[in-house]
Amino acid sequence: MALPARWSKNAEVTDSTDEVMEIQMGPSHPASHGTIKFNLKLDGERIVDCDVEVGYLHRGFEKMCEQGTWTQCFPYTDRLNYASPCINNVGFALAIERLLGVTAPERCQYARVIMSEVHRLADHLTCLGMAAGEVGAQSVMFYMMEAREFLYDLVEAVTGARLTVTWCRAGGITRDLPMDLGARITLAFSHLDGILSDCDKLLSRNRVFIDRMADIGVMAADEAISYGLSGPLLRASGVAYDVRKAHPYLVYDRFEFEVPTGNKGDNYDRFNVRFQEMYQSRRIIEQAMRTLPEGPIALDDPRIVLPPKERVYNSIEGLMNHFKLIMEGIQVPAGEVYQAVEGSNGELGFYVVSDGSGRPYRVRVRPPCFLGMGALSRMLVGHMIADIVATFGMINMIGGECDR
């Protein structure tokens, strides 16, 4: 096989300065966390066109949800946005509960709020830590990973797992909050506060960081709305839309918290919005812990919630109840519902269609970072290759959520 002419050393080198170079960045690239391919057309270092290819982590979530019962979908939801699994659990549980027409008990709702906010904190720490590490601030990355470890200790104490928590069910949660959760939270926050303060001092007025992040990836408010952006991406562009305030779910309407917004819609605003949201999440957790009521953690409804194991092993009715719920699934009335929760990337929506049986007919996840990736090429055109790393980091694409 002869080498093509352009490989030969004796061939004439034609260096056309207005030739556009096509290069592919990805799908496995050290600076992009997640399997994403950018098909770039470059004029030197400047991006002329960028086609973003996703789908490398597509595992058929929506198809698999149709194969099992309603409860068997919960482990799949953990693996959507795997940086904040409780939020996915909560969204799906709320969707089923709306179809059933029930509301989980108060203590369960407070617990879901606390764990959702803990996971929001963990997700923002992951996003900001990795983004800072990729633009060179490695100390910040390690500090934020350290802070995240304290939060993962909390999550493990409550749910038993660090990542694949599968904690929510239709009608309740599986494990109650531990008795010493208040003490654990105080310990975690004492470390978190110090680390956040350090990272703030290291980055927020850092000349190099601002040069890398400010005025890069600018997205105006009306365009952001048209692209379907939500969450920190939309709020950085100045639109104060937060599902927790606009369409409150669980008990978020009982807590006082602010929704930080930016004004320019550049990467620096996205960074600051996520950073300030961490303080607001902290506020919510403290208020929730102060007002946490006693009570059951799941509904006392044999059609929805599994009976306690003492009943299952010691009475025939408990055994039958358990058997029916496991084998046939919760009989959810026919209908459809769209349940939106505020994920750490934006509006995480679950559009669930039931045909009246124990298996879902259609489960659709509205993934916020999928829409963010759709807008990415618009944000990148005209910037340089190095800006891809910064902008992509600030979108917080989580492969599990984008590709499902």
Partner 1 sequence: MLLDQLKQRFGADIVAAESARDEDTIAIARERALDVMRALRDDPPFAFDFLADLTAVDWPARAPRFDVVYHLHSLKRGHRLRVKVATGEPDPWVASVAGLWKSANWLERECYDMFGIRFDGHPDLRRILMYDSFEGHPLRKDYPVNRRQPMVPETDPILNPLRPSR
Which residue ranges make up the site for partner 1 (CB under 8 A)?
4, 22, 24, 39, 51, 53-55, 58, 60, 62-64, 67, 98-99, 101, 223, 225-228, 239, 241, 246-247, 335-338, 340, 347, 349, 351, 353, 361-362, 364, 366, 370-371, 373-375, 378, 403-404
Q: Which is closer to partner 1, CB of 95 or CB of 390?
A: 95
103 by Cβ neighbours in 10 Å (0-12 / 13-18 / 19+) ranks as middle
Beta bridge partners of 336: 353
Distance (Å, rounded) from C-alpha 69 to C-alpha 304? 12
Q: Which is closer to partner 1, CB of 145 or CB of 353?
A: 353
Distance (Å, rounded) from C-alpha 366 to C-alpha 348? 6
Q: Which is closer to partner 1, CB of 247 or CB of 309?
A: 247
Q: Which is closer to partner 1, CB of 296 or CB of 374?
A: 374
Question: Closest separation between CB of residue 205 and partner 1, Å?
Answer: 32
Question: Closest separation between CB of residue 263 and partner 1, Å?
Answer: 17
Instruction: Let me know the angle formed at the C-alpha of 283 by 281 and 285, rounded to the nearest 5 degrees.
Output: 70
Task: List the 346-354 sheet strands across, edge first.
Answer: 335-343, 346-354, 360-366
Q: Which is closer to partner 1, CB of 4 or CB of 30?
A: 4
Question: Closest separation between CB of residue 300 and partner 1, Å?
Answer: 23
Alpha helical stretches, state H, 232-352: 232-236, 243-246, 267-290, 309-314, 316-328
Question: Closest separation between CB of residue 398 and partner 1, Å?
Answer: 15
Question: Closest separation between CB of residue 374 and partner 1, Å?
Answer: 4
Question: Closest separation between CB of residue 88 and partner 1, Å?
Answer: 16
Distance (Å, rounded) from C-alpha 108 to C-alpha 294? 9
Contact yes or no for 83/54 (Cβ under 8 A): no
Distance (Å, rounded) from C-alpha 71 to C-alpha 53? 32
Q: Which is closer to partner 1, CB of 209 or CB of 249?
A: 249
